[in-house]
Structure 1
């Protein structure tokens, strides 16, 4: 884990507390490695569709957010299937679900 990166459990916990204070529903679906687990965010649009965002490093090593699959808009069923496969591949993965009709990723400004 790079020295300048906040441990995942602190980062996820802080965002979850902020969402709770704002009254925005959010759930930790999978706790991965406390220090360095990557994060997958499911953003439920409350209409049966969602966005699924994963972390990816750019050429300078900075973390950013990209769609986990080719399609940006997914059915929740398709996203849940992907999440199950991702956890099987990487048990250190953290998965957070956020309900937001506007599709905002609460981790976007905190990468």
Structure 2
């Protein structure tokens, strides 16, 4: 099976540029493997709790964005500690923050409704 994914560093760069072109802010929190790294995208906005999405392999061979964790408004620091631990456990993982309203649209996920 041929893997025709974009190199991770190009996908990250594209996400950040797209968000910034729409008036938002994008930032790399942690760099992973340059070519074949995996991505975690943290979608945040002042109006909603942060959400972390990771692309997970599916049985049919596709890779789908899946909500891994949502920030608890009562304990926001726990969310940050969680994604930092994930980054320490996986050297291939890129962690990218997209700070814009409805950030999920940039990773083709249905809008989040709180």
Q: TM-score, normalised by structure 1?
A: 0.82
Q: Which residue of 2 aligns with 1:101?
A: 101
Partner of 1:74: 71
Aligned residues: 106
The structural deviation recorded for 1:86 is 0.4
Query: Larger % of strand: which?
Result: 2
Q: What does 1:6-17 align with in structure 2 at a 5 Å threshold? A: 6-17=6-17
**Tell me, which stretches of 5 or more residues in structure 2 are unaligned?**
110-114
Q: Is the 8 A contact 1:64 1:108 kept in 2?
A: no
What's the TM-score, normalizing by structure 2? 0.80
SS at match of 1:64: strand
Structure 1 unpaired stretches of 5+: none
1:59 and 2:59 aligned? yes
Partner residue of 2:38?
38
